[in-house]
Copies of this chain bind each other. A is one copy, B any other.
Amino acid sequence: MSIREDVTRMKSVAAELASSSIELRNKALKMVAENLRKNADKIFKANEIDIANANANGVQESVLKRLKFDNHKLEDVIDGINQLIGLEDPVGKVTLNRELDEGLVLKRVTCPIGIIGVIFEARPDALVQIASLCIKSGNCAILKGGKETAESNRCLFGVIREAIVEAGLPEICLIQAEAHSEIDELLKCDGLVDLLIPRGSNAFVQYIMNNTKIPVMGHADGICHIFIDKDADLAKAIPIVVDAKTQYSAACNAVETVLVHSEIAAKALPVLVRALNEAKVVVNADAYTTNVYNAYKEDSDVEVHVIEDDAYNVEYLRYELGIKIVENVDEAIAHINKFGSHHTDSIITENQATADKFQNMVDSAGVYHNASTRFADGFRYGFGAEVGISTSKIHARGPVGLEGLVTYKYKLTGNGQIVTDYASGIKTFKHKDLD
C-alpha cells in the first residue's frame, strides 16, 4: 500500500475524526497511556535492539541518550498524555459570533487542520508526543521517525494504534511511514495532506521546504542572539549566556551570537569570555571586537578567534559562539533582524524602555528580557507538548502546541437569505456582535 493510497483512505475519515467528541478523543488518549504501560516490557525490548544497533554503529553518547526509551521516559510521556487530557478542547471554540442581520448569524469556530505529516528525529518519546497532540486536536497524522529508532517506533506505534482503535477512533487516522523513500511520496501528496511539520537538521528541513507544494511549518535555522545592553546587570547576563549556550548546545534555541553594547564592552568582554572559557565554549569575534577585548583583557584571560565581519550567520550547535560589539540597541536590533533566523532573541538590561524597544522591534517568534533563550519550548510554555517550533510568521509562530494544530471555519446560519436583497438595498447588514 503506497503512502498516497493510505492518505486517500485517511482523507475519507478525516471529517469523522474532526467532528468526534472531546470525550472520545480523551478516552482514546487515556487508553493510549494505559496500553503503553501495559506493553512497557515489549517497548523496552524493542528499544534495546535500537540501542544495540546504535552501539554497533558507533553512535555518539549524546545521540544514544535521545534514542533511549526507558521507564523514566515512559513515565514522562504518560505524564504528558495526562496533561493533554486535562487541557481544554482546542476544537469547537467560537471565536466570533455575529448577527449579520436578523436571522443571519455568522460564527467562526475552530476545527482540526485535517491531515498532518510529521517527520521527526530519532526520539521514541517524540512519536508518542506527536501522536497524542494529533489525537487531542482531532487531526489525522502520518508519522515518520528517524531510522535509528525503527524498532522502538514500530512497537510504540502498534501500541498506540491498538489503543485508539479499541477506543473507537478510525484505524486509519494514524499512519506510520517507515521507509525513507516514503518521505518523497509524502511530499507529492499536495491536495491530500494539509500541513507538513519537518524536524531535524537545517539541510533536511530545507529539502522538505524546497520539494513540496504542501504548506510547511517549522524552522531550518535557529540562530538565536543575546544582547547585553549598556544597562545590563552582568550578574544576570553572564549566567544567562552560559546557560543559553551550554545547557543543551545542540538545541535550536541555544544562543549562537552574543552582542555587547559598546559602552559596556571594556567591562563586559573580559568577564564574558572568561566565563565562556571556563564552560569550555570556543569564542569567535570580528577584528574590532577582538581588538577591544585584547585591549581590556587581563593577563590571565584567554584568546578569542578572529572571524570575518559577516560570519555571524552561523548556527554552531556546539560549544562555540560568536561575540560582537554593537554601537547601541538599534544596531543590535538591526543585526538580529538581518543575521537572525527569527527564532528567539533576548536582551539583558535593567532599562525597561530599552527592553520594550527591543521586544517590539526584533522580528522573532520569541523576544525575551533577562531570560535564557532556552526557555523557547512547548513544555516550558505550558502547552503540554509541542510538535515543533515555527520561525514562519504565517499560521503558528514559536513552539507549536494544540492551538497551532487547529484552523477555523465560518458557519453561517440563515433562513433563506439571498445577497440580491442586500445589493439592491431592500435589506441592510446590522453586524451586531453577540454574547
Contacts and interface: CB of A to CB of B under 8 A. Distances in A.
Interface stretch (A43-51, A120-128, A142-150, A374-382): A374-382
B380 A429 contact: yes
A292 to B, nearest CB: 25
A382 B429 contact: yes
A304 B408 CA distance: 37
A106 B366 CA distance: 10
Contact of A370 (B369, B393, B413): B413
Nearest to A14: B363
Contacts of A362: 15
Nearest to A373: B419
Contacts of A412: 366-369, 371, 375
A374 B419 contact: yes
A102 B169 CA distance: 41
Nearest to A360: B19
A15 B333 contact: yes
Contacts of A397: 407-410
Contacts of A365: 409-410
Interface string A19-39: 100000000000000000000
B194 A394 contact: yes
Interface string A224-242: 0000000001011001101
A4 interface: no
A210 B106 CA distance: 33
A114 B363 contact: yes
Contacts of A423: 247
Nearest to A330: B15
Q: How many copies does the complex hold?
A: 2
Q: Which of A104, A195, A361, A382 has the most CB of B within 10 A?
A: A382
A52 B18 CA distance: 53
A16 B362 CA distance: 10
Interface string A322-340: 0000000000011001000
A215 to B, nearest CB: 4
Given A365-B409, A394-B215, A429-B382, A416 B15 contact: no
A371 to B, nearest CB: 3
Contacts of A168: none
Given A369-B413, A381-B100, A412-B371, A393 B194 contact: yes
A100 B375 contact: yes
B361 A419 contact: no
A385 B248 CA distance: 47
A224 B160 CA distance: 38
A360 B429 contact: no
A392 interface: yes
A239 B417 CA distance: 9
Interface in A312-355: 333-334, 337, 355
A113 interface: yes
Contacts of A413: 355, 368-371
Contacts of A416: 233, 235-236, 239-240, 370-371
Contact of A113 (B100, B394, B419): B394
Contact of A409 (B217, B372, B398): B398
B370 A415 contact: yes
Contacts of A244: 418-419
Interface string A124-148: 0000000000000000000000000
28 contacts: A11-B337, A15-B360, A18-B360, A19-B360, A98-B382, A100-B375, A104-B371, A104-B375, A210-B213, A217-B394, A235-B416, A239-B418, A247-B419, A359-B409, A364-B409, A366-B409, A367-B409, A368-B411, A368-B414, A370-B416, A370-B417, A372-B418, A374-B418, A375-B419, A380-B419, A382-B431, A398-B409, A398-B410
